[in-house]
Amino acid sequence: MSEQDQALVRSPGQVAYNEMGEVVTTSAIDVAAASQVAYAQQTVQARYVMALKRPRNEGLFRSKLMLEVDNPDFASICEYSRPVGKEKNAQGKWVEKIAKGPSIHLLRTALRLFGNNTAEPMIITETPDFRIGSVTISDYENNFHVVRTFTIEKRIEKRGFQNRQTGTVDPPPGREILGTRVNTDGEEVYICRMTLDELRKEELRQTALAKRAAAEEFLPRHIIRAALQRAVQVTEDQDAKDPLAAKNKLIDAFASLKILSTELEHYLGHSLDRLTSDELSVLRGVWSRLSNEEVTWEECLAERNPTGSTEDAEKVRAAKLAALSQPVQGEKQPAGAPAQIAIISPAQAQEFAEVCTSLGLDDETVARLVKAGGAERYDHMQAQLFDTVLKMAKASKPKGAKK
């Protein structure tokens, strides 16, 4: 066999071609990698060339961004808000401190209008337990780059479920259990491996947070600040024209995320009938974070408790529930009505809910029991009627149950 014939004998995964009488052999994997490198090179070079041919105009960018925030629908989602603890006001009283800033919705629009840039997420490395990624915003006019990294731990905490046959708490079915721990409520929770869907949601959340942090450093701060102020003013003017429509629109927006008005009342600590303009702004900021999957509703509720202790959480919840039974300021009480009705405690409300769930009572039966307790909501039942209502609940049978 000649030397040329020997060269043409190749192993699988190799490519051989004749070049001026010489046989050149290379790996198919190397060819694919070289193609990807060449494609990335050409793409980046094209972006730099276009950036030099069409440089941005900051004045035009500012004008376009202001036109965007003049739209009331867009202006209402331009600001995020979250509680960050307590602070003393001018009167020396401790009040909740709210952090506010440009939302990811405003920053995404600003990046698009600013031009000659890309915001690219990338997975840096991955192990069975972690996924490390980054978001890079590149400016092709000034060769300036901002990078923010994030780490995802591929584990999630889940509560077990009550086994009605044995009476024990079993681990969540179909999950890979990595361990257990006792949470602040004294409950044992299971540490499970994330599913692909849970991992995707967490990656979207971490990517959005990293992108927002990078965009705030990348974009001209004075223009973003001016646009945010304009958006807040447009929203306040729109609210002043029709406060009821603004409130109903926000309630519908939360309902689209499966968060009901009763949960919003629990978050605020009073009825939505007493919703102020400041609280309306805070709820919009919360919705902005929720809609982008930056945070969960449970995490938003946890942020309202600055200490994180179980005892203080119970005190806060009890105070909020008590505030719900207070009359609106200026509202006249019915003749002969008590100044304040004692309602059931959070522990009693949880006991009632657990009994109804374990018996499988339908909504109609639960509503009838709640009304028997002198309330429209189960956590508003009168304390002196609770024992009677609980006995009625335990004696109730769901429709279609065997006698």
Q: DSSP class of residue 2?
A: -
Is 0.85 topped by the overall pTM?
A: no
- Split at pLDDT 50, 70, 90, the class of 185 is low
What ranges do the domains of the chain cover? Answer: 3-53, 72-154+194-310, 155-193, 341-403
**Would the pLDDT of 284 be above 80?**
yes
| Across 335-344, average pLDDT | 56
User: What is the model's pLDDT at position 131?
Assistant: 93
Extract the tokens encoding 278: 């400041």
Chain segment 56-115, per-residue pLDDT in tens: 999 999 999 999 999 998 998 898 888 777 777 777 777 777 788 898 889 999 999 999
**Would the pLDDT of 215 be above 90?**
yes
Beta-bridge mates of residue 327 = none
**Would the pLDDT of 123 be above 60?**
yes
DSSP annotation string for 284-325: HHHHHHHHTTSS-HHHHHHHT-SS--HHHHHHHHHHHHHHHT
Q: Which of 153-157, 199-203, 290-294 has the lowest mean pLDDT?
A: 290-294
Q: What spatial distance separates the first Cα and last Cα of the chain, rounded to whole Å? A: 92
Beta-carbon count within 10 A of 151 CB: 11
**Would the pLDDT of 356 be above 70?**
yes
Taking the C-alpha atoms of residue 387 and residue 365, their distance in angstroms, rounded to an integer, is: 17
Task: State the average pLDDT for the chain.
Answer: 79
Chain segment 58-68, per-residue pLDDT in tens: 999 999 999 99
Chain segment 298-325, per-residue pLDDT in tens: 878 877 754 444 455 455 455 544 544 4
| Across 242-254, average pLDDT | 85
**Would the pLDDT of 244 be above 50?**
yes
Beta-bridge mates of residue 17 = 24
The answer to whether 357 and 389 are in contact (CB under 8 A) is no
> Is the Cα torsion angle 293, 294, 300, 302 positive or negative in sign?
positive
Query: Regarding predicted confidence, which is higher, 264 or 332?
Result: 264
- Split at pLDDT 50, 70, 90, the class of 20 is low
The H-or-E segment that residue 47 falls in is helix 28-53
- Split at pLDDT 50, 70, 90, the class of 332 is very low
The answer to whether 69 and 107 are in contact (CB under 8 A) is no
Percent pLDDT > 70 in the chain is 80
Extract the tokens encoding 267: 């978050």
User: What is the model's pLDDT at position 24?
Assistant: 54
| Across 26-35, average pLDDT | 67
Q: In what order do the strands lie in the sheet with 144-153?
A: 117-126, 130-139, 144-153
Beta-carbon count within 10 A of 397 CB: 12
- Split at pLDDT 50, 70, 90, the class of 382 is confident
**Would the pLDDT of 287 be above 80?**
yes
